[in-house]
């Protein structure tokens, strides 16, 4: 059997002949990215065969060197192979986050009622004459605090009861989860001042964020975020569903979701010196497919007509059942979904808005790998989703990266149209371009006549940063930065096309939903923008490229990662949990693909800012002003 060695890591494995290269990599513990889930369509899972023989079932892009093959469509032959790969190290992109954006925080101004309620009891001593058991007496005390008709005692908790009850002469801490008329006793402790924590999780397709909160004070202890390890199984949802079509690969995608969350939990507990055993509650929000992956339930039927999920909502699950590295008896609450592509991230996210209270029409746009849109007011809420791809989260473009230190978030030109400065997060050496960066850069390119409205570099643009090789052109950023190889950072026309498609998907979803509701942009009084852009999102530039509608600037509010903030609210506030259930039942899910005009709206939006100039009069003016003077 051939031996396959991967470089630069030097990891190796022995496989059967005909094993695909990506399968050999997995066996060797090498993380290779399969952007299209291994369908052979994206041509981006490129690896270089240094020696040995391989069998190609699909070919790489035409201009690839002869040694380059597709990892998903090339099999190991009879001889030993040495293969050069680019491996992911997810921890390189993990960061600590702040939570300053969303100012609507129930848990700061409402009575703190966390998902798992810590209750200190003084249980009466047993009496000879009443024959009450330990459980009877604890239940009697608990009933004074939580009004329920039944209390479930897990056996593991019951086994601890006799000793725990007697250590502090009947005083004990109980951790109770209440669901309707029923309570579940998660844990009992004789240490009355034990710190109690919970986590809120935004399980995004590309990025995952975890917030750690003190359930006794409601304080947020820390937030960590990083790439979802599932990325290597497909960049977007459909690719990932394709990848997970067998039980073996479904389990792999499931375990990558869990290991991503656990990786971020470890970061938080190490930094804050907290025991994972002290975390008793988790709220997890994500799109419908992510929730299926989280629980290891096949999402296959979400992509097949009539697009039926296995579930929209669950009461609760145990942390132990899904493999979270927190107290095994902790309760995990999964935010309810409302449609096959509108999930718990949206029912959590709209908690951070006032749209459900107001008479005026609001638009909520959550821009991630999936774009989700909610339109409505206190009388109605319509929601839809579109696939934007990972470009706005720093994926799917040649030099894309997360919005962390080293990411280019803007570019500055002088009057002559020459690049004079790169704005880089943390003032660091530039390493890549983040999602808000690509929006700002393309807006400037349009305004400086570097690209045209179809996203192509302008033929006669005399810009020294544009390098042309045959019919291909790219804009190179890193000229003059020490320690960086020339031309390491660039944007090419393929990247621009990916952004064009992404913005067209989001904008056409907005226009289609408005049309469906019989409304126009003029009816909108408020626009809430959610997503992981951080403080670098420039609304003006997002309008100039046609991602957002051209409305007056005051109508826009950027609320940051609404899914995470909503999840924190759900973790800490009963009011938020009740409200979310009400909103989930009120939202009408609109399947865009079933609407005949969606495709034509999408095609019309495949132009910067749009083919219909009347929708973007000011942006068109800005784009043409410089060109009139200089070109």
**In terms of CB distance, is 37 or 432 closer to ligand FES?**
37
Alpha-carbon distance of 274 to 258, in angstroms, equals 20
**Considering the complex, what minimum distance in angstroms separates the CB of residue 34 from ligand FES?**
4
Selected binder of ligand FES within 15, 19, 44, 608 (CB under 6 A): 44
Considering only residues 51 through 70, tell me which ones interact with ligand FES, judged by CB under 6 A: 70
CB burial of residue 437 (10 Å; 0-12, 13-18, 19+): buried
**Considering the complex, what minimum distance in angstroms separates the CB of residue 32 from ligand FES?**
9
Alpha-carbon distance of 489 to 308, in angstroms, equals 42
Selected binder of ligand FES within 36, 115, 157, 326 (CB under 6 A): 36
User: How big is the site for ligand FES, counted in residues (CB under 6 A)?
Assistant: 13
Give yes or no for a contact between 503 and 401, defined as CB atoms under 8 angstroms apart. no
Binding of ligand FES by 242 (CB under 6 A) = no
Binding of ligand FES by 43 (CB under 6 A) = yes
How does DSSP classify residue 123?
A: P
Binding of ligand FES by 188 (CB under 6 A) = no
Alpha-carbon distance of 49 to 66, in angstroms, equals 9
Tallying the residues shown for the chain, one arrives at: 631
Binding of ligand FES by 47 (CB under 6 A) = no
**In terms of CB distance, is 70 or 502 closer to ligand FES?**
70
Selected binder of ligand FES within 35, 286, 296, 455 (CB under 6 A): 35
User: What pairs with residue 13 in β-bridges?
Assistant: 4
Please identify, among the stretches 37-45, 112-120, 201-209, 546-554, the one whose residues bind ligand FES according to the rule CB under 6 A: 37-45
**Considering the complex, what minimum distance in angstroms separates the CB of residue 60 from ligand FES?**
8
Binding of ligand FES by 245 (CB under 6 A) = no
Binding of ligand FES by 395 (CB under 6 A) = no
**Considering the complex, what minimum distance in angstroms separates the CB of residue 243 from ligand FES?**
9
Binding of ligand FES by 34 (CB under 6 A) = yes
Alpha-carbon distance of 202 to 343, in angstroms, equals 11
Helices 435-447 and 617-630 pack at an angle, to 10 degrees, of 50
Which three-class secondary structure string do you get for 519-549? CCHHHEEEEEEEECCHHHCCHHHHHHCCCCC
Rounded to the nearest angstrom, the gap between the alpha carbon of residue 420 and the centroid of all alpha carbons in its chain is 33
Alpha-carbon distance of 408 to 421, in angstroms, equals 10
Please identify, among the stretches 43-51, 109-117, 280-288, 310-318, the one whose residues bind ligand FES according to the rule CB under 6 A: 43-51
CA R_g for the chain = 27
CA distances from 367 to 149, 335, 387, 504, 613 (A): 43, 19, 10, 12, 23
Binding of ligand FES by 576 (CB under 6 A) = no
Alpha-carbon distance of 264 to 282, in angstroms, equals 13
**Considering the complex, what minimum distance in angstroms separates the CB of residue 229 from ligand FES?**
16
Selected binder of ligand FES within 3, 11, 26, 40 (CB under 6 A): 40
CB burial of residue 597 (10 Å; 0-12, 13-18, 19+): middle
Please identify, among the stretches 28-36, 155-163, 183-191, 377-385, the one whose residues bind ligand FES according to the rule CB under 6 A: 28-36
Binding of ligand FES by 240 (CB under 6 A) = no
With CA atoms as reference, report the closest residue to 550 among 518, 590, 510, 595: 510
**Considering the complex, what minimum distance in angstroms separates the CB of residue 387 from ligand FES?**
16
**Considering the complex, what minimum distance in angstroms separates the CB of residue 72 from ligand FES?**
3
Binding of ligand FES by 72 (CB under 6 A) = yes
Name the CA dihedral angle for 141, 145, 146, 152, rounded to a multiple of 10 degrees: -30
**Considering the complex, what minimum distance in angstroms separates the CB of residue 90 from ligand FES?**
18
Selected binder of ligand FES within 28, 42, 201, 570 (CB under 6 A): 42
**Considering the complex, what minimum distance in angstroms separates the CB of residue 540 from ligand FES?**
35
Please identify, among the stretches 31-39, 82-90, 111-119, 395-403, the one whose residues bind ligand FES according to the rule CB under 6 A: 31-39
Greatest CA span in the chain, whole angstroms?
99
Give yes or no for a contact between 486 and 478, defined as CB atoms under 8 angstroms apart. yes
Chain contacts with ligand FES (rule: CB under 6 A): 34-36, 38-45, 70, 72
């Amino acid at each position: 059997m051939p031996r396959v060695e991967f470089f630069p890591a030097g990891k190796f494995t022995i496989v059967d002949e005909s094993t695909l290269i990506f399968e050999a990599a997995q066996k060797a513990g090498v993380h290779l990215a399969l952007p299209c889930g291994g369908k052979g369509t994206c041509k981006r899972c490129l690896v270089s065969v240094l020696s040995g023989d391989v069998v190609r079932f699909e070919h790489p892009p035409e201009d690839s060197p002869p040694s380059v093959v597709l990892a998903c469509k090339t099999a190991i032959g009879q001889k030993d192979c040495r293969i050069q790969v680019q491996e992911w190290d997810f921890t390189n992109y993990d960061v600590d986050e702040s939570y300053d954006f969303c100012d609507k925080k129930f848990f700061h101004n409402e009575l703190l009622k966390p998902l798992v309620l810590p209750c200190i009891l003084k249980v009466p001593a047993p009496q000879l004459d009443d024959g009450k058991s330990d459980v009877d007496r604890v239940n009697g005390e608990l009933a004074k605090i939580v009004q329920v008709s039944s209390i479930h005692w897990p056996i593991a908790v019951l086994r601890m009861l006799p000793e725990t009850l007697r250590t502090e002469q009947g005083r004990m801490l109980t951790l109770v989860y209440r669901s309707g008329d029923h309570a579940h006793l998660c844990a009992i402790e004789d240490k009355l001042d034990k710190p109690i924590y919970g986590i809120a999780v935004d399980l995004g397709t590309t990025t995952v964020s975890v917030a750690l909160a003190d359930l006794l004070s409601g304080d947020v202890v820390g937030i960590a975020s990083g790439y979802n390890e599932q990325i290597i199984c497909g960049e977007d949802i459909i690719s990932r569903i394709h990848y997970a079509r067998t039980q073996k690969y479904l389990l792999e995608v499931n375990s990558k979701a869990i290991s991503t969350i656990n990786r971020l939990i470890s970061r938080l507990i190490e930094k804050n010196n907290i025991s994972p055993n002290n975390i008793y509650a988790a709220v997890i929000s994500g799109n419908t497919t992510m929730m299926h992956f989280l629980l290891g339930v096949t999402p296959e039927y979400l992509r097949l007509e009539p697009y039926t999920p296995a579930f929209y909502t669950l009461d609760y699950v145990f942390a132990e059942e899904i493999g979270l590295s927190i107290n095994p008896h902790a309760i995990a609450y999964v935010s309810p979904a409302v449609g096959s592509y509108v999930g718990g991230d949206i029912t959590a996210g709209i908690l951070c808005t006032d749209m459900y209270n107001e008479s005026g029409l609001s638009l909520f746009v959550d821009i991630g790998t999936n774009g989700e849109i909610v339109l409505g007011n206190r009388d109605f809420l319509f929601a839809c989703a579109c696939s934007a791809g990972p470009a706005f989260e720093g994926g799917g473009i040649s030099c894309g990266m997360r919005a962390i230190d080293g990411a280019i978030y803007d570019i500055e030109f002088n009057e002559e149209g020459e690049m004079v400065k790169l704005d880089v997060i943390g003032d660091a050496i530039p390493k890549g371009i983040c999602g808000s960066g690509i929006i700002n850069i393309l807006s400037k390119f349009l305004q400086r006549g570097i690209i045209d409205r179809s996203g192509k570099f302008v033929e006669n643009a005399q810009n020294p940063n544009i390098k042309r090789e045959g019919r291909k052109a790219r804009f190179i950023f890193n000229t003059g930065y020490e320690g960086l190889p020339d031309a390491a950072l660039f944007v090419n026309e393929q990247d621009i096309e990916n952004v064009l498609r992404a913005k067209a998907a989001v904008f056409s979803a907005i226009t289609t939903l408005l049309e469906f509701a019989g409304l126009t942009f003029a009816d909108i009084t408020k626009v809430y923008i959610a997503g992981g852009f951080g403080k670098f999102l420039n609304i003006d530039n997002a309008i100039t490229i046609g991602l957002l509608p051209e409305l007056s600037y005051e109508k826009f509010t950027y609320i940051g990662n609404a899914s995470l903030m909503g999840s924190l609210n759900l973790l800490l506030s009963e009011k938020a949990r009740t409200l979310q259930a009400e909103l989930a039942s009120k939202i009408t899910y609109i399947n865009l693909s079933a609407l005949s005009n969606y495709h034509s709206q999408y095609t019309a939006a495949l132009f910067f800012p749009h083919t219909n100039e009347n929708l973007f009069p000011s942006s068109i003016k800005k784009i043409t002003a410089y060109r009139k003077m200089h070109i």
